[in-house]
Structure 1
Amino acid sequence: MRPFLFLLALAALPASAGEIVNDVTGLNPIEVERVLAPTQLQQIIDAVRQHAGPISIAGGRYSMGGQTASAGALQLDMRDFDKVLAFSAERREIRVQTGISWREILEYIDPYDLSPQIMQSYANFSVGGSLSVNVHGRYVGEGPLVGSVRALRLVLADGSLIEATPNHNRELFYGAIGGYGGLGVIVEATLGLAENSRIARESQVMPLAEYRSWFSREVQGQADLVLHNGILYPDDFDTVRAVSYRRSEQPLSESARLTPVERSYRLQQTGIRLSSSGEAGTKLREAAIDPLLFRGAKVQWRNHEASLDVRELQPISGPDFSYVLQEYFVPPAQLERFVGELARLTDKHQANLLNVSIRHAKADPGTLLAWAPEEVFALVLYYRQGTSAAERERAAAWTRALIDAALACGGRYYLPYQIHASREQFLAAYPRAPEFFALKRRLDPGYKFRNALWDAYYPPAP
């Protein structure tokens, strides 16, 4: 396209100049040059080819450390690039534009009694964002999202459109998934699907010391279990509520096939407010709120649980506070050791930790920035912090100490959150990062695709 026609095309796109963008935490305001909201593939290709400066990529903005923006960049807002391109119930697969949300996918496939094979706990995220951070969920016997991806199409820095699968353009496939927008714009994805079965909830409370052996006996390898996670209660860190969902033919206690968009999450939000109020609130949640939440039989569709809304966690941020996530991955044998360090460091730094969710993931099949090079337990931390400079530094110190603890256990930390890790910690947790950097230099020699994560850790050539 000639430059004049390109400018006309850009003028037709929703855009704003010099806009401040942020993420769900409100902690990372970044002024970008422009924000473009493409609806067509050619618009993305033309923007990448013709824009001379840096480009960043944004979806639902649930990453929490500036991974969707870079100062002065052209930000591609992908949320209107959201069509279903192909679907096969027989092959159990769907091909989509990557701005689509998981909620939209669920609404499309639910009439066919199909469900995403792997996704995160909330359905608000964009598929492209989920691919870029290589999410995981609570699915028993599964691992990172890459395990359900059959093919990708990407727009590279020169504007070329490339397809990648686990067997074709393999290096690009395993670099782009979990690559945080560093190699190109993931514009299409073909995803595997699973049966949308009825599931019945089971819940029991046990000492942490018993959880790992119980998990090995009662969860791992159980073909009829669909979802599982453990809730670890601060401040004692010695009690786990194990929550599982098993395939069932029992009558439904919840008839809706998807979680209603207008559903109230008042009880969950009350639990969060109580937990953030101090140790007494945490104890009250453990003793009263959660027993209410998990009381009685609950039989629902898999898609009903998959379609939960992140509103469950609201309000996520305010003028002087933010609720923030972190996540750490450790080999199963190191679970109790890491939890001991988590308890010690939370107390030492007086961190306002509300909840710890324990997940399990099988090994990553080969992404360059794998967080699960082997089977792991994942510990998802949800905490409240202040927004002042002193509070930010206190959170940063706690985070770096936790990263050291995970590394000492042979584990890793997750990259979609606040960028507190030192460069040395990043390289220790992601030893294949130099391979990713080498691939990026080859595909993006001008460092076109950037964001706060790569501005922190990627060393571009002079």
Structure 2
Amino acid sequence: MHKSYILIVMLALFCFGPAIAQDSLNIVNDVTQLNPITVSQIIAPTTTKQIVSAVKTHDGPISIGGGRYSMGGQTATERALHIDMRSFDSIVHFSETDKEITVQAGITWRKIQEFIDPYNLSVSIMQSYANFTVGGSLSVNVHGRYIGKGPVILSVKKIEVVLANGTIVTATPLQNKEVFYGAIGGYGGLGVITEVTLQLADNVKVERTDKLLAIKDYKEYFFDNIKNDSTVIFHNANIYPNNYNKVREVSYRQTSKEVTITDRLKPLDEKYNVNKYAFKVISASSFGKWMRQYLLDPALYAGNPVEWRNYEASYDVLELEPESRIKSTYVLQEYFVPVGQFDSFYPLMATILKNNNVNVINISIRHANKDPGSLLAWAKTEVFAFVLYYKQGTEQKDKDAVAKWTQQLIDASISCGGTYYLPYQLHATQVQFAQAYPDSPLFFELKKKLDPTNKFTNKLWDKYYP
């Protein structure tokens, strides 16, 4: 029971349950179930040739989707041809010596893990949950809890992209680099990412440690104890609501100790009933949050388990799926600020959340190094990420309330020289988008060049592409 619960309270990054897409009705929805979109047709290609043919022969809009864990219509738009990439999931090439793998973009990270684990290799950078497709992760330029890393683009060696005219382009940081830095983090706006070559890492044993801190002490603690410790593989810090003045930092350090958890990957047959119940309690009231901070977490973090890196990287989003999303749902937001602005941003964030009575479940602090050059980079410099996981109602008044405080948080982040993450609900104004992503005109210029008829689009680009 203790181990099950820890999955909830520690890892609220990309914490969404399985997206339900009513494909028989040509309705594409995301995990929140807040954004049903009726498309004209859904196809599920298994070959690049089929993708090229669809792109060449379809005259109207085209949208692209993988696991559908984005939360604001980033994978669909009305009357589009929707390309469902989840059947396009083969391994194309693997080199144990070079620690390199090439995959079709619809493959999940879990399938890669199952293939490379026998070679004692691991994914270099990914989000905390393994259900996502690789192409979808690249399209939003994900990050995780990896210390010394940052956006997933840092681990990508090569991509192949089908452009609007049906041309297949190979792109690397040196070859066709404008496509490389535009398509990764480009939310399907430039073309279909079909193949991805990833640099892999060693699968090592890691030991978990934790420490409770005042949030005012966290930044100094991170730079003194975490950032330059080469043994730290995973790290995050959870801010406890509703006071937002305490954090629990959780780190996984490489070790030579024997594993105490013998599984190499998370089991696939878990029902997660305990997880779901505990999560329901935590999200239901302030008392549930108090219980987590003062009763549950102190017990849960009493030990220091040793496990494999791949085990820690293979979480299943099913563990956090609620019984229903009809009356309420669970949603993510994320804000990035330069590391020097940590102490300026978090008080602004806490004040906004308190003033708006936001039902915050967890805020997870992550660290990321500078993006190497993607046009829609969220890490223009070294940043701290604040991953906000919250519960909201599904009525229009609830959506309006969320839009109000979201815009306040975006303004707070921008005032600190930061930005917000684009895979979530489209509450930012056009002005806020332009301020947070100052290189967006370069992306739009490239899109106009590669996709002059705006063939590749979705609700994100419907709103912000001029």
TM-score, reference length from structure 2: 0.94
Residues 18 and 34, structure 1, Cα contact 8 Å, conserved in 2: no
SS at match of 1:326: strand
305-314 vs 137-146, which moves further: 305-314
**Among 34, 40, 44, which residue is 1:27 paired with?**
34
**Among 252, 258, 271, which residue is 1:251 paired with?**
258
SS at match of 1:390: helix
Residues 62 and 82, structure 2, Cα contact 8 Å, conserved in 1: yes
Map of 2:13 onto structure 1: none
SS at match of 1:63: coil
Map of 1:65 onto structure 2: 72
Residue 198 (1) aligns with residue 211 (2): no
**After superposition, what is the alpha-carbon deviation per residue over 1:59-112, rounded to whole angstroms, capped at 9, x for unaligned?**
000000000000000000000000000000111110000000000000000000
Aligned residues: 445
RMSD of aligned residue pairs (Cα, Å): 1.3
Residue 183 (1) aligns with residue 184 (2): no
Residues 164 and 451, structure 2, Cα contact 8 Å, conserved in 1: yes
Residue 381 (1) aligns with residue 367 (2): no
**Among 154, 159, 166, which residue is 1:159 paired with?**
166
Map of 1:339 onto structure 2: 346
Residues 17 and 35, structure 1, Cα contact 8 Å, conserved in 2: no
**Among 325, 332, 350, which residue is 1:325 paired with?**
332
Residue 418 (1) aligns with residue 425 (2): yes
Distance in 2 (alpha carbons) for counterparts of 1:293 and 1:310:
20
**After superposition, what is the alpha-carbon deviation per residue over 1:280-301, rounded to whole angstroms, capped at 9, x for unaligned?**
1111111122223322120000
Cα displacement (A) at 1:333: 2.0
Distance in 1 (alpha carbons) for counterparts of 2:360 and 2:139:
27
Distance in 1 (alpha carbons) for counterparts of 2:92 and 2:239:
41
Residues 274 and 285, structure 1, Cα contact 8 Å, conserved in 2: no
Cα displacement (A) at 1:403: 0.2
Distance in 2 (alpha carbons) for counterparts of 1:357 and 1:112:
32
Residues 131 and 317, structure 2, Cα contact 8 Å, conserved in 1: yes
SS at match of 2:266: coil
Please list every run of 5 or more consecutive structure 2 residues that lacks an aligned counterpart in the other structure.
Answer: 1-21
TM-score, reference length from structure 1: 0.95
Q: 1:40-439 maps to which residues of 2 (within 5 A)?
A: 40-315=47-322, 318-439=325-446
Cα displacement (A) at 1:172: 0.7
Which residue identity is paired with 1:210? Answer: D
Identity %: 52
**After superposition, what is the alpha-carbon deviation per residue over 1:29-60, rounded to whole angstroms, capped at 9, x for unaligned?**
00000000001110000000001111000000
Distance in 2 (alpha carbons) for counterparts of 1:102 and 1:365:
23
**After superposition, what is the alpha-carbon deviation per residue over 1:127-174, rounded to whole angstroms, capped at 9, x for unaligned?**
000000000000010010000000000000000000000000011100
Residues 280 and 322, structure 2, Cα contact 8 Å, conserved in 1: no
Cα displacement (A) at 1:263: 3.0
Cα displacement (A) at 1:266: 4.3
Residues 24 and 317, structure 1, Cα contact 8 Å, conserved in 2: no
Residues 66 and 453, structure 1, Cα contact 8 Å, conserved in 2: yes
SS at match of 2:142: coil
Cα displacement (A) at 1:16: 6.5
SS at match of 2:154: helix
SS at match of 1:290: helix
**After superposition, what is the alpha-carbon deviation per residue over 1:388-427, rounded to whole angstroms, capped at 9, x for unaligned?**
0000000111110000000011110000000000000000
Which residue identity is paired with 1:254? Answer: I
Cα displacement (A) at 1:265: 3.6
Distance in 2 (alpha carbons) for counterparts of 1:246 and 1:17:
46
Which residue identity is paired with 1:445? Answer: P
Cα displacement (A) at 1:348: 1.4
Residues 414 and 436, structure 2, Cα contact 8 Å, conserved in 1: yes
Distance in 2 (alpha carbons) for counterparts of 1:404 and 1:297:
40
Cα displacement (A) at 1:267: 4.6
Which residue identity is paired with 2:125? Answer: I
Map of 1:38 onto structure 2: 45
Distance in 2 (alpha carbons) for counterparts of 1:317 and 1:408:
37
Distance in 2 (alpha carbons) for counterparts of 1:310 and 1:299:
22
343-352 vs 267-276, which moves further: 267-276
- Stretches (4+) displaced over 6 A: none
Distance in 2 (alpha carbons) for counterparts of 1:198 and 1:56:
40
